[in-house]
Amino acid sequence: MIRITDIIDKILDNDPDADVSLVDKAYIYSARVHDGQMRLSGEPYLTHPLEVAGILADMNLDCMSIAAGLLHDVIEDTHATPEEIGEMFGDDVRHIVDGVTKLSKLDGGSSEERHAESLRKMILAMADDIRVILVKLADRLHNMRTLKYHKKESKKREISQETLDIYAPLASRLGIYWIRKELENTAFMYLMPDEYERIRELTSKHSEEREHYIETVKSFIKAKMEEAELGCEVLGRYKHVYSIYQKMKKQHLEFENVYDIIAFRIILETKNARECYTAMALVHSLWRPIDTKTKMYIGKNAKQNGYESIHTTVIGPYGERIEIQIRTKDMDIVARSGIAAHWKYKEGKPADSHIREKFVWIHNLIENQKSIKDPKELLKNVRLDLLTEEISVFTPNGDVKTLPKGASPIDFAYLIHSEVGSQCTGAKVNGRMVPLRSELQNGDVVSIITSKGHHPSRDWLSFVKTVKAKNRIRQWIKAEDKARSISLGKEMCEKSFRKYRLNFNAVAKSEDMKDIFGQFGLKTIDDLLANVGYGKITPLQIIRKFLPSATEHPEHEAEPVSDKKPISGSGIVVTGVKDILLRFGKCCQPLPGDEITGYITLGQGVTVHRANCANLLQMNPERLVDVQWSQSEEAAYPVNIRIRSHDKVELMAELTRYIGKHGVNILKINAEVCPDNTVDATMTLVVRDADHLNRIISAIKNIKEIIEVIRLDS
């Protein structure tokens, strides 16, 4: 059992000038108010706050946090009040203890709503004072260490699941990897005891052999470093059980096939970060590196949580993969306390102004979670934000930006500013233009090209990785959809009203109208129009409010509309409708040149079909609109064709080369050899228009083996 003197020793080891009187006072107070209480283990309750304070001292935290650790349960479990704590220990300590107490009330409960709520509270607490979360983490760590004393099996599982869902990701995000590992291992032990035991046993098997291996690798490294007069300590250890389990699961591997279960760490004595590169070069001169596996989180490339280290994987002395981390002593200290290492307080505020920048992500988290109502979605998003591996990229000015792995230039653009994101039209990576959907790599220099008035695109959603980008794009689409629906609804109403010799715009301004949208349960005329545009309300339903006897086919058809100019969009002109959301019928894949008809769909604008599309016959004629191809736009459209031919070696290769030569891209091929030795192939081609398609079809027909080429409806 840890004693207060041990804790004070730890504090003074880290900082000989620390004022430990606050810690002493907190200890005496805590001992007094918890007196007589017991833990489930049967030990005096005081052991718990002491252990928590010990963990906080291990994390290198300030005296206020450690005092708060000693006091973290007094408000909840004793007669102590926040006011009293404030008077005795100051506002900072009171604030931390208060924060931890509020979070404790949320503990337990296994529902996603509950977890989402805790997570939300924790994110807020984190922005308020990060030390609240650090004390909470230490509290959870000790509770996990003593979980065995819980009587109920279900309770153990519940707490373990919550630890895995919330606390381990938080520890990781805050850069306190040793706490993350211990939390994961312990939770794993309770949640999947058999798996845990099996892997643990496997790692201890042949332990003598492995110990020998570890010693061999260590001595190789040590000798090399000594040669270059680099003072260092070399550590070799097993990776934690849970990470081995995840590796096996993710890559479908048996234990025997998981190579890098032992990891090495070189801790350099020097304070000079550059020496890490020297050490890396030395290791690489010893063993060949796997280039793609080298990551240099140093200096400007440090992880967002401040973590610095080089990670490299090499082919070791027996042809095996070895993972090696290289860092200085200072970097190692940061790795123990994570984010907190940068968090020196002065009168309750972070002393370093750069600190704010380092924690931009916390504020991003808060901003992002505000707009998410669904707890499932929130859990998923925040976990995504917390867990995803990061890459560091640079602005042209050399500012470093951190993004999740797999992020695109669009994510980068939104990170710079929402405006930059939504007006992004292109991106340069390392000076070269790249597609917006390309994946950014560590170290890339990214510049974004914007143009005023440009808008986000729906398909960005299919590749962006950050929550911020996703939210912003969705927001825009929602607003845009509504605006489009309103304008579509207005056009539809104007058109229909005219058929009954009514002037919609005049009616819209009348007092009667207020009544009418009220009758539909709506608040504004725009809502009514949006509903018409979405197809939830038909214009006729509104007309009947004025002309109860109105039928679907008015006797007096209106004059053709002449004051409306066709407006183009995506290669299509919709008669009389402005700026409308268009999509192409998947059933018939219209091409420019084909005869086409538009159909107003429920909430998705207008779908364009070929005029002879069989599906059109089943659709509501009231919703059909005239559409034409516009001349101006250079575009590409997918179309399916079917090719039947005699079988021949390399037929497919020849066919694809041939089609390619005609400037046509192939999106998809499906080919099958039939029993009669003919080949039946369907392809999706990308063509400019119907003419283009016809040309390629006749070209294919010229190949000797081809029996038949037809355009498919779907």
**Which positions touch Mn ion (CB under 5 A)?**
73, 139
With 0-12 CB in 10 A as exposed, 13-18 as middle and 19+ as buried, what is 53?
Answer: buried
Continuous segment of H or E residues that includes residue 123: helix 112-128
| Least Cβ distance, residue 77 to Mn ion (angstroms) | 8
| Least Cβ distance, residue 343 to Mn ion (angstroms) | 22
Distance CA 62, CA 22 (A): 11
**Based on CB atoms, which residue is closest to Mn ion, 68 or 492?**
68
Q: CA angle, corner 362, sides to 357 and 366, nearest 5?
A: 130
Whether 688 and 592 have beta carbons less than 8 Å apart is answered as yes
Whether 385 and 363 have beta carbons less than 8 Å apart is answered as no
**Based on CB atoms, which residue is closest to Mn ion, 85 or 410?**
85
Which of 6, 43, 77, 439 is flagged as catalytic? 77
**Based on CB atoms, which residue is closest to Mn ion, 73 or 594?**
73
With 0-12 CB in 10 A as exposed, 13-18 as middle and 19+ as buried, what is 229?
Answer: exposed
| Least Cβ distance, residue 261 to Mn ion (angstroms) | 34
Q: Determine if residue 633 is left, alpha or beta; phi over 0 gives left, psi from -120 to 50 gives alpha, anything else beta.
A: beta
Whether 488 and 577 have beta carbons less than 8 Å apart is answered as yes
| Least Cβ distance, residue 72 to Mn ion (angstroms) | 6
Distance CA 523, CA 518 (A): 6
- Closest CA relative to residue 594, chosen from 502, 711, 426: 711
| Least Cβ distance, residue 124 to Mn ion (angstroms) | 20
**Based on CB atoms, which residue is closest to Mn ion, 187 or 664?**
187
Calculate the alpha carbon distances from 355 to 93, 113, 360, 386 in Å: 21, 32, 9, 19
Which of 19, 35, 76, 691 is flagged as catalytic? 76
Which DSSP symbol is given to 354? H
**Based on CB atoms, which residue is closest to Mn ion, 73 or 275?**
73
Comparing every residue's Cβ against Mn ion, the nearest one is: 139
**Based on CB atoms, which residue is closest to Mn ion, 73 or 323?**
73
Active site residue 594: no
Which residues pair with residue 621 across a beta bridge?
Answer: none
Whether 59 and 122 have beta carbons less than 8 Å apart is answered as no
| Least Cβ distance, residue 91 to Mn ion (angstroms) | 22
| Least Cβ distance, residue 71 to Mn ion (angstroms) | 10
Which three-class secondary structure string do you get for 305-357?
Answer: CCCCEEEEEEECCCCCEEEEEEEEHHHHHHHHHHHHHHCCEECCEECCCHHHH
**Based on CB atoms, which residue is closest to Mn ion, 58 or 139?**
139
Which three-class secondary structure string do you get for 662-707?
Answer: CCCEEEEEEEEECCCCEEEEEEEEEECCHHHHHHHHHHHHCCCCEE
Active site residue 76: yes
Distance CA 564, CA 546 (A): 26
- Closest CA relative to residue 169, chosen from 208, 206, 122, 204: 122
| Least Cβ distance, residue 389 to Mn ion (angstroms) | 32
**Based on CB atoms, which residue is closest to Mn ion, 97 or 410?**
97
Distance CA 506, CA 518 (A): 18
Catalytic residues: 76-77
